[in-house]
């Protein structure tokens, strides 16, 4: 008995002292998970929001020019600014954390299809409150799409809405308000990240349902599944309804811009997985490198490679698509469905295989086995 207790205490002591060897930071064998959070925030999230902020300021100033002098030429410049900003948004849309979550940033900037009747109603009534959730679908990029691409068939006719139309002043003011709101919301989110949330995010590096890594991965998969796979491809292709819904494509009124948005968002999602820095050739710690580290403890397929290859397969499938998804859905939906299948295959890898490897729980309740 005494011998047993002695042995036991010795083992316990050894166990504790093993952990004690490295009081200052993780041992060299450990993977530094905080480095992922640092790479994400400093090299991906914040630069992407900075860029988004610049582009949304550009969009606002082009809108001001157009509102001051509504010409076909200014309309064309405004469209270009809208496209650049919309592309920039694809790099920040998935980061619905911190104040972005409180503001419901994504819902305010990119709910589509937009609601033209509601927009016209607001414009005719001369008043609108974009803070109302009920107006989510009459603001942001899709509403802009309608107002600069969808009001009429020709540019000259569109410009008339801002010049000779009886409600021209309201049209101008609604348009300007839309871009102001995009800029304000973006700057609020950027400021939140740069004035403290970054540190909070990086320091919340533990494990558990409310840890940054767990929340980010959950949000990331959610975005991939809901907004990218379903929103941009699946819903317009009729995967969830049984019949194609060409009205549900992103940038519906534009002259073939939906594919560019989709490709940009796929790139953003892939870069995030691989830890590729925003707007640079460098890369850092990421889900990919974390998976590589964890796989090293098991003899298994290299999951990070599988996932990255699957992103490429989706890109390749999408390469065959027309720049205008609306047309694609109406002409040959099978190509859309084929792209969907490639995106879907990665949902399985991300949500099943990756979540299993990272051991990230979907939801907190004490019920995981027992």
Partner 1 sequence: MESTVHTYLSKKRNAAPLAVFRIFFGLLMFISILRFAMNGWIHKLYIEPSFFFSYLGFEWVRPLGDATYLIFIVCGLSALTVSVGYRYRWSIIIFFLSFTYIELMDKTTYLNHYYFVSILSFLMIFLPAQVYFSMDAYRDKTKRFELIPAWTIDSIKLLLGIVYVYAGLAKLNSDWLIEAMPLQIWLPAKYSLPLLGDLFQQVWTHYAFSWAGAIYDLTIPFLLLYRKTRPLAFVLVVIFHALTRILFPIGMFPYIMIVSALIFFDAGLHQRILDYISRLFNIQSQDFNNRRSFEFTNRWKRKTIHFTVGTFFLLQLLIPFRHLLYPGELFWTEEGFRFSWRVMLIEKAGYTDFKVVDPESGRRFYVDNTRFLTRFQEKQMSTQPDFILEYALFLEDYYQQQGITDPEIYVDSYVALNGRPSQPFIDPEADLTRFKPSLKHKNWILPFNDEIKGL
Q: Residues interacting with partner 1, by CB under 8 A? A: 1, 4-5, 8, 12, 15-16, 18-20, 22, 26-27, 29-31, 33, 205-208, 211, 230, 234, 238-243, 294, 297-298, 300-301, 303, 344, 347-349, 351-353, 355-360, 362-370
Q: What's the closest the beta carbon of residue 102 comes to partner 1, in angstroms? A: 21
Helix axes 46-68, 168-192, angle to 10 degrees: 160
Cα R_g (the chain), whole angstroms:
24
In Å, how far are 97, 216, 307, 337 from 209, measured between CA atoms? 14, 10, 24, 34
Q: How far is the CB of 175 from partner 1 (least distance, A)?
A: 34
148, 139 Cβ separation under 8 angstroms: no
- Closer CB to partner 1, 80 or 368, in the complex: 368
Nearer to partner 1, 282 or 300 (CB): 300
- Cα–Cα distance for residue pair 86/88, rounded to 1 Å: 5
Q: Which of 125, 115, 186 is nearest to 147 (CA)?
A: 115
The rounded distance, in Å, linking the Cα atoms of 92 and 360 is: 23
Determine if residue 27 is left, alpha or beta; phi over 0 gives left, psi from -120 to 50 gives alpha, anything else beta: beta
* Beta carbon nearer to partner 1, 19 or 166: 19
User: Residue 166 CB, nearest distance to partner 1 (Å)?
Assistant: 43
260 or 355: whose CB is closer to partner 1?
355
Q: How far is the CB of 328 from partner 1 (least distance, A)?
A: 19
Q: How far apart are CA 147 and CA 170, in angstroms?
A: 12
Residues 38 and 202: beta-carbon distance below 8 Å: yes
Nearer to partner 1, 12 or 319 (CB): 12
Q: What DSSP designation does 146 have?
A: I
How near is the Cβ of 314 to partner 1 at its closest, in Å?
17
| Shortest distance in whole angstroms from residue 13 CB to partner 1 | 12
Q: d(Cα 75, Cα 151) in Å, to the nearest integer?
A: 12
Question: Helix, strand, or coil here: 342?
Answer: helix
Residue 287 CB neighbour total at 10 angstroms: 24
Q: In the complex with partner 1, which residue's Cβ is closer, 37 or 119?
A: 37
CB of 356 to partner 1, least distance (A): 4
Nearer to partner 1, 195 or 334 (CB): 334
């Amino acid at each position: 008995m005494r011998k047993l207790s002695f042995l036991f205490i010795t083992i316990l002591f050894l166990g504790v002292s093993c952990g004690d060897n490295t009081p200052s930071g993780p041992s060299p064998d450990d993977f530094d998970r905080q480095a992922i959070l640092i790479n994400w925030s400093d090299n991906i999230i914040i630069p992407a929001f900075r860029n988004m902020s610049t582009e949304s300021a550009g969009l606002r100033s082009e809108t001001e020019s157009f509102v001051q002098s509504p010409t076909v030429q200014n309309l064309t410049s405004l469209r270009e600014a809208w496209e650049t900003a919309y592309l920039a948004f694809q790099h920040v849309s998935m980061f619905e954390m911190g104040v972005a979550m409180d503001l419901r940033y994504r819902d305010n900037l990119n709910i589509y299809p937009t609601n033209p009747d509601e927009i016209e109603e607001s414009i005719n009534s001369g008043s609108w409150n974009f803070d109302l959730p009920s107006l989510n679908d009459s603001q942001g990029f899709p509403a802009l799409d309608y107002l600069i691409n969808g009001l009429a068939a020709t540019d000259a006719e569109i410009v008339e809405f801002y010049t000779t139309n009886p409600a021209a002043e309201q049209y101008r003011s609604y348009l300007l308000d839309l871009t102001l709101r995009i800029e304000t919301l973006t700057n609020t989110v950027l400021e939140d990240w740069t004035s403290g949330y970054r540190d909070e995010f990086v320091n919340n590096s533990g494990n558990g349902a409310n840890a940054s890594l767990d929340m980010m991965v959950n949000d990331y998969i959610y975005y991939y599944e809901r907004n990218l796979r379903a929103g941009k491809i699946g819903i317009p292709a009729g995967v969830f309804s049984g019949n194609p819904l060409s009205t549900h494509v992103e940038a519906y009124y534009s002259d073939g811009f939906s594919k560019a948005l989709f490709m940009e968002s796929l790139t953003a999602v892939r870069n995030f997985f691989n830890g590729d820095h925003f707007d640079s050739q460098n890369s850092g710690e990421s889900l990919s490198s974390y998976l590589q580290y964890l796989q090293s403890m098991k003899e298994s397929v290299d999951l990070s490679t599988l996932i990255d290859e699957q992103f490429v397969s989706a890109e390749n499938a999408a390469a065959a698509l027309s720049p205008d998804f609306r047309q694609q859905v109406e002409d040959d939906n099978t190509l859309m469905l084929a792209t969907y299948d490639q995106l879907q295959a990665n949902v399985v890898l991300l949500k099943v295989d990756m979540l299993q490897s990272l051991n990230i729980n979907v939801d907190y309740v004490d019920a995981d086995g027992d």
